[in-house]
Structure 1
């Protein structure tokens, strides 16, 4: 660089001053502060949708598998990925297995049965509860109770405890009918404590 040119009249250095840079950073900070709540709502809504879709997909896969293999297939809540549980909620995780023996009134992975699919726990802030600790599909695709083989129906609620969502957008009910089909409905007026349906 030729330093002699710096002193010539009319020569001006180009760039940003420190004040211009500080004003730009301040404006960006204000814009980010305004946008953050909408991002939180978008993230919470995305987690709720993903959890709902994961459950629906697991139930559809189990129903399809029961019809394909011609044997009972069960999806149940599972805290350890190896056995069924009747306590807690679906948010702790669930498993799927071909259920060749159905002893008792609760779902159980018995000797000789192998867990086919393990679903991990859902992210914090997602609560899944209801009156169905398991869903078991017979070879004809219908949902059945463990003992007696009667029709099995009920509702599972997938809910977000996030304060970024309004009470009209925080919950989805998954309703199981006797034909084994799941219907999803958006629930309104559900508190952030996510009560059972």
Structure 2
């Protein structure tokens, strides 16, 4: 039975409006809130893990690109932490980003990392790849993220090979 603007259902001999009661709606919202509270920490951890993976892959790609450019163009190429004005900074904190430089020309600029990430290196002046593809020294990077327990390490060995993993560069 339908009345003007209101849907009703016949229940036994009585007519009852269809829909949700306030109590039913509050109960559904309560369950939704509990499920959201359970899922939120997992989601935050997933975001941190993805940021760590993305930054690790970006750093490895930058190091490999710098090495390839050095070999292809027979010129030294430096990868270093960036300071203001897109110049190399003498620091072990790479959280401000990094640049690839050859012949005083910036080839690539990686911007600031997400605020929850901390990227540090084992040397102040970054790494320079020679025209042979070998670095001036081995270097290790450590990437940490708030809300993600596992650190990631990026290692460039004396051979010039770069790898990443959960363990250090022993």
Structure 2 length normalisation: TM-score?
A: 0.84
Superposition pairs of residues 96-115 of structure 1, within 5 angstroms: 96-99=100-103, 113-115=104-106
Segments of 4+ moved more than 6 angstroms:
none
CA–CA distance in structure 2, aligned partners of residues 79 and 71 of structure 1: 23
Match of 1:173 in 2: 153
**CA 1:72–1:177: 2 relative to 1, 3 Å:** same
* Mapped pair 1:126 → 2:111: no
2:127 pairs with one of 111, 132, 135: 135
CA–CA distance in structure 1, aligned partners of residues 126 and 73 of structure 2: 19
Match of 1:24 in 2: 28
Which runs of no fewer than 5 residues in structure 1 stay unpaired?
Answer: 100-112, 145-151, 189-196
Are the aligned partners of 1:131 and 1:156 in contact in 2 as well (CA < 8 Å)? yes
Are the aligned partners of 1:81 and 1:120 in contact in 2 as well (CA < 8 Å)? no
Once the 2 structures are TM-superposed, how far is the Cα of residue 56 of structure 1 from its aligned partner?
0.6
1:87 match: secondary structure? coil
CA–CA distance in structure 1, aligned partners of residues 118 and 16 of structure 2: 63
Structure 1 length normalisation: TM-score?
A: 0.74
Once the 2 structures are TM-superposed, how far is the Cα of residue 2 of structure 1 from its aligned partner?
4.6
Superposition pairs of residues 12-91 of structure 1, within 5 angstroms: 12-91=16-95
Once the 2 structures are TM-superposed, how far is the Cα of residue 23 of structure 1 from its aligned partner?
0.6
CA–CA distance in structure 2, aligned partners of residues 173 and 129 of structure 1: 10
**CA 1:22–1:75: 2 relative to 1, 3 Å:** same
**CA 1:81–1:179: 2 relative to 1, 3 Å:** farther
Are the aligned partners of 1:91 and 1:121 in contact in 2 as well (CA < 8 Å)? yes
Which runs of no fewer than 5 residues in structure 2 stay unpaired?
Answer: none
1:15 match: secondary structure? coil
Number of aligned positions between the proteins: 163
Once the 2 structures are TM-superposed, how far is the Cα of residue 52 of structure 1 from its aligned partner?
1.0
**CA 1:154–1:2: 2 relative to 1, 3 Å:** closer
Name the Cα RMSD after superposition. Answer: 2.4
CA–CA distance in structure 2, aligned partners of residues 98 and 31 of structure 1: 52
